[in-house]
A and B are shown apart, each in its own frame.
Chain A
Amino acid sequence: MGNQPLLQVEDLRTSFRIQDDYHAAVDGVTLTVNENEVVAIVGESGCGKSAFALSVMGLHPEGRTKLEGNVNFNGRNLLSLSTAEMNKVRGKDIGMIFQDPLTALNPLMTCGKQIEESMNYHTKLSSSEIKAKALELLKKVGIPNPERTYKQYPHELSGGMRQRVVIAIAIACDPSLVIADEPTTALDVTIQAQIMDLLKDLQKQMKTGIILITHDLGVVAEMADRVAVMYAGEIVELADVKTLFKNPLHPYTRSLLNSIPSTTSGNDRLHVIKGIVPSLQKLPRQGCRFKARIDWVDEHEHEENPILREVEPNHFVRCTCYKNFHFPENIGDMNNDIS
């Protein structure tokens, strides 16, 4: 494949039917993921990050969802594949790690059987070979006693161990792309650190591309190579991780960074982003979508039809409003609600 990107998403638009109308939750997202690269997608809940991931995996319910655009993977457009063809890609070429390891695992199957499931489906190995591979996978994800865990049910394991099993399932068929949807959100800090280190290790070994979906900028800073910040279905800023944290430009990125407690010290006020993420029906489809939440910024600072523009090499920002953006002085005030 040479220099071709692993996954190339072009102008993806995912719309859900709400009361006979289609509303786009992912609205024209273009993103590439290369081999051996971790691309993080960050944003508040309701920004369309999970909708994006599920679109790539083809996991949206068919009747109520409309998918447009291209998702090129291995020279094929995933959106044009039939369910049967897609089933051959899911779990084999693309693995997925879900947020909550307890609901992602089947409570009635032993962990070993669940890891074997996808190998049974996708490979022609004999059952003893598959078992050997499953044990090897359990070892690879750092489970201390693979033979025992192989026979255990998910409820017998702690949260961290369960998430390791979920990761083992995701990488069972050596996928070239792994989509991790909030992989550490349900876990304790120390376990989160272990899982992050494990994912980094595995990624280095296997040279997988990872799409990391998270709202935690700390996790992004520790894991990602490139970051896409999503707001209201669009990418508003795209840059490599060091640039993004050193020189964040879009008001939304800057607001997010300013609202985390660990970066501000002592009794400093945290920044509060005014208002809430608009619901799908109320989403402004014209102009800068972040406008309503920074209403102290002058109207003419915004573009009418903002596009994602390259402002320095490999650093993309949407809308011109970043140029003169400043935080208001009375940051973090409460009287700013839209009830």
Chain B
Amino acid sequence: MTFLKVNNLKVYYPIRGGFFRRVVDHVKAVDDISFELKPGETYGLVGESGCGKTTTGRTLIGLNKATSGEILFENKDLTKLSRKEFHNIRRDVQMIFQDPYSSLNPRKRVLDIIAEPLRNFEKLSKADEKDKVAYYIEKVGLNAESIYKYPHEFSGGQRQRIGIARALTLKPKLIIADEPVSALDVSVQAQVLNFMQDIQKEFNLTYLFISHDLGIIQHMCDRIGIMYRGQFVEEGTSSEIYANPQHIYTKRLISAIPDINPENRERQTELRQEVNAEYKNSYDKYFNAEGKVHKLKAISDTHFVALP
């Protein structure tokens, strides 16, 4: 049984205009992508802003509607479920949002924030509910007394951990983490990332990790999919992508990562210029007339590249 399989997913947004606001065109936010998640792994979706990675994540959890294609979660097609049936899936799929400042309701206590998913699915007594919330708040490294506080009393890293506690309460199988650390300081980032790895082992979680930061993706992910304009340009294991990138767009992304060693500064600049020159010269080879990438081709069992 596959855990999560996405087949030919398309998410289009209509552009309306002209008479009677008819649909004149579509923004193809996600344009025919397929990938698979194995239980217990961390799959990274990378790309620049506007490439459709967030839309993909939101569609999986039902916050966006798929235009066509299948999302098979434990062999059930999420795109065909009714609202009521989908409700039960929500238990197993949870989301961690990017900005810990806007994803927690400022007028609710931490207790109510974390208990909200519980109240939707489980009928617990007040005392049981409180115990459960206290258990998870301690799991994320905060004081059990903090459940009576409000979000503004916490720092960014602590808030993000409250967001993670909320995602954990229903014991989900899949967590979609959309840029979970982009809004945090480096040191706090490390804390949240370490913590995400810990709970992954403890609760046997599968992550879909969405980020634009290639350093973090390399650190966290087993397999990676690189997106460009709503399509995959390359997919492979972490080492395949970083040590042996095949598509020019992947090469360009990787060469853009700042090198932490100042001794390599000149080399890094040269490399970037080379890659940019190659990008310009061989554009026609990697992209078709519409500026879209080609279909993915396997170059090893796990490594797929969009080549003609």
Interface residues of A (CB under 8 A from B): 44-45, 159, 188-193, 196-197, 200, 215-219, 221-222, 224, 241-242, 245-246, 255-257, 259-264, 267, 269-273, 276, 332, 334-337, 339
Contacts and interface: CB of A to CB of B under 8 A. Distances in A.
B141 A261 contact: no
B187 A259 contact: yes
Given A189-B253, A221-B262, 9 more contacts: A45-B185, A197-B269, A224-B262, A255-B187, A261-B190, A261-B193, A261-B218, A262-B215, A272-B190
B265 A273 contact: no
A339 B142 CA distance: 7
Interface in B191-210: 191, 193-195, 197-198
Contact of A263 (B195, B260, B272): B260
7 contacts: A44-B185, A189-B48, A197-B272, A215-B185, A242-B262, A262-B257, A270-B194
Nearest to B184: A45
Given A189-B253, A193-B256, A262 B218 contact: yes
B14 interface: no
A157 to B, nearest CB: 14
Contacts of B141: 334-337
Interface of B: 48-49, 140-143, 145-146, 154-155, 157-158, 185-191, 193-195, 197-198, 212-216, 218-220, 252-253, 255-263, 265, 268-269, 272
Given A222-B258, A262-B219, A190 B253 contact: yes
A241 B146 CA distance: 42
B258 A259 contact: no
**Closest 4 A/B residue pairs (Cβ):** A218-B258, A262-B215, A261-B219, A270-B190
A215 B185 CA distance: 8
Interface residues of B, dominant DSSP: helix
A336 B268 CA distance: 38
Nearest to B217: A261
A261 B181 CA distance: 12
B194 A188 contact: no
A221 B187 contact: no
B187 A256 contact: yes
Contacts of A334: 140-141, 191, 194-195, 198
